[in-house]
Amino acid sequence: MRRARHAWLGLAAGLIAPWAWSQSQGMATPPEGLQWLQRGTVAVQKLSYSGTFVYRSGSRSETSRIVHVASNGNQLEKLEVLDGSPREMIRNNDEVRCYLPESRLVIVEQRGTRRTFPALLPVSLAGLTDHYNIRMGGSARVAGYDSQIVRLEPRDAWRYGQQFWVERGTGLLLKADMLDERGEALESMAFTELRIGEPLGPDALKPGQAASAAGAWQVRQSRLREIHDDAQWTFRTDLPGFRRQAAMRRSTAKEGAGDGQDVLHWVFSDGLVALSVFISPLKQPAESSADELQTFGALSVMKRSIDGHRVVVMGDLPPAAIRRFAEGIGVRGK
């Protein structure tokens, strides 16, 4: 998820630094742009850092504190949301523990496919230029660091543009905007304070006072099992460039209890942006309802009722793209 949302959901522009366009806007994708993106992908895996970043979308903003330690091939991370209801996420490689102190609930799950700031850059750049024009921008200061601006412009109407500010010395991503068709920021994330490579104390990755308070906590374990036979469901409408990355069955249950309700989960991606599909049985036929499409900043969510199931399609994509894909989902043979 680009932001700290609910377990499934997972977080408008501030001051946008001016960028210097390439000498010719029609020129081929500059190799240098891809090199900067690759630097950012490597940096977030290799560096230890801590800081505070702000997510903005329209009139809404949310501040989070992050600590990330890369040590001997391991990725350890603590993310604490500082606004509103207290929330903390502690990651040890692929295991994530989400602490919700107000409900005294801990959700344990495997790290999802949705990337979070500042780990937003694609792991693989293969095929990225098929769907985005990559242009070099100028330089700007973010959280006291000099950065290089790289802008990705979509080649079609099925995805948003993006702009990244990459720290010149280390390659760490400092700021990211998702842009609408007018080039205006739908949502923005940026460090306001950052320390790179400084030693961290032994308590830096432990749950905070709210999350570690004494008393009974309910633990819910989210189990993932790969789907090998999903022949019941068919995806009739493709979005250009989006390929299936994962198919799994999710089950969330209280610790020590039996399995909870299963949810089928598919992930499709163009290498930069992910689209998720969740399908679960309706508890009662009366839950069936008309199609519903909502937007939250850059996030579009469409809900449908199909053959006694709730189908939810979501992603940081234009509403028309989510609707197009969702309307192509059906039961095979019906």
If we measure between CA atoms, which residue out of 107, 186, 121 comes closest to residue 150? Answer: 121
User: Are 162 and 116 within one domain?
Assistant: yes
Burial per residue of 166-193, b for 16 or more beta-carbon CB atoms within 10 angstroms, e otherwise? bbeebbbbbbbbbbeeeeebbbbbbbee
Place of tokens 């991503």: 173
Residues 104 and 228 occupy one common structural domain:
no
162 closest CA partner among 141, 134, 138, 139: 134
How confident is the model at residue 256, as a pLDDT? 52
37 inside domain: yes
Q: What digits encode the pLDDT tens for the residues 54-67?
A: 999 988 999 999 99
Q: Give the domain CATH number at 313.
A: 3.30.200.100
Identify whether 212 is part of a domain. Answer: no
Phi first, then psi, for residue 185 (nearest 5°) are -75, 120
Cα separation of 296 and 111, whole Å?
Answer: 23
Which residues lie across from 80 on neighbouring strands? 65, 88
Please choose, from the candidates 187, 164, 191, the residue with its C-alpha nearest in 3D space to the C-alpha of residue 176: 164
Residue 44, in any domain of the structure: yes
In this structure, what CATH number is given to the domain that contains residue 136? 2.50.20.10
Which one has a higher pLDDT value, 23 or 203? 203
pLDDT > 50? residue 82: yes
Q: Pick the residue with more confidence: 14 or 325? A: 325
Token pair for 83: 């606004």
Assess whether 297 and 252 both reside in one domain. Answer: yes
In this prediction, residue 116 has a pLDDT band, given cuts at 50, 70 and 90, of: confident
Examine the domain organization and report whether 266 and 186 are in the same domain: no
12 lies in some domain: no
Q: Is the pLDDT of residue 100 over 60?
A: yes
Same-domain status, 187 and 39: yes
* Structural domain includes residue 47: yes
Closest CA to 227 of 251, 203, 254, 192: 251
Q: How confident is the model at residue 76 (pLDDT cuts 50, 70, 90)?
A: very high
Say yes or no: 188 and 271 in one domain: no
Residues 166 and 226 in one domain: no
Q: Report the sign of the C-alpha dihedral through residues 40, 46, 47, 50, in that order.
A: positive
Return the pLDDT at 62: 96
Identify the pLDDT of residue 110: 80
Q: Are residues 137 and 239 located together in one domain of the fold?
A: no
Share of the chain above pLDDT 90, in %: 60
pLDDT per residue as tens digits for the range 190-233:
999 999 998 887 788 888 765 555 568 888 887 888 887 767 89
pTM of the predicted model, to two decimals? 0.84
How many domains, the chain? Answer: 2
pLDDT at 300 over 50: yes
The half-sphere exposure of 210 on its side-chain side, counting CA atoms within 13 A, is 17
Domain span at 237: 221-331
Rounded to an integer, what distance in angstroms lies between the CA atom of residue 9 and that of residue 1? 6
222, containing H or E segment: strand 218-226
Assess if residue 288 is contained within a domain: yes
Query: What is the arithmetic mean of pLDDT over 86-113?
Result: 87
The answer to whether residue 263 sits within a structural domain is: yes
Whether 251 contacts 110, CB under 8 Å: no
**174 and 36 in a common domain:** yes
Q: How far is CA 97 from CA 100, 222, 246, 303, in A?
A: 10, 10, 21, 27
Q: Which of 65-69, 104-108, 255-259 has the lowest mean pLDDT?
A: 255-259
User: Closest Cα to residue 55, out of 116, 110, 7?
Assistant: 116
Range from 89-103, 196-210, 307-321 carrying the lowest mean pLDDT: 196-210
Do 264 and 155 belong together in one domain? no
Average pLDDT over residues 28-45: 84
Instruction: Give pLDDT tens digits for 151-180.
Output: 999 999 999 999 999 999 999 999 999 999
Residue 59 counted as domain residue: yes
- Considering the domain architecture, whether residues 50 and 136 belong to the same structural domain is answered as yes
Same domain, 170 and 231: no
